[in-house]
Amino acid sequence: MVSEDDKGICGISLCTLDECSHNSHSALTDEAYRQLAEYLDGKRKVFDIKLSLNGTEFQKLVWKHLCKIPYGKTKSYSEIAMLISNKLASRAVGMACNKNPVMILVPCHRVIGKNGSLTGYALGIDMKKNLLDMERNNR
């Protein structure tokens, strides 16, 4: 389900068909669904949609850097911590990824462990692997 507020897309969550059928539609949410479908079809590599990200300043800073990770590439939690000038913040970066309200649009799935391992993802490790594989195969 895609949610919006008066500033932009503010949430993405999984829902059942019944729940999603009661979802309200607007031009903005319809555009978000269209762009997500293009992404999942391997046709879209960059999202161009207005977001409304609600979180702490630290979370917003992390999310901003996640959006800079190119399609098909990954960065480690520690690399993101270094980018935000806080080399000891790897765990906090992980928690910011966990609180990402707009998964896929802000690509927290592109953040991996320092040793290359796939670690936590709201939709599960298998989905994280599938998204990364899809991106690598469609570069």
Rounded to an integer, what distance in angstroms lies between the CA atom of residue 118 and that of residue 112? Answer: 5
Active-site residue, 20 included: no
Closest CA to 96 of 45, 51, 58: 58
Tell me how many degrees the CA angle 99-102-105 measures, rounded to the nearest 5. 130
Closest CA to 7 of 61, 64, 46, 53: 53
Catalytic residue, from 20, 67, 97, 108: name it. 108
Is 57 within 8 Å of 84 (Cβ atoms)? no
> Encoding tokens for residue 40?
């999942």
Contacts by 119-125 with C-beta closer than 8 Å and gap 24+?
A: 119/77, 119/94, 120/94, 122/98, 123/14
| Catalytic site positions | 108
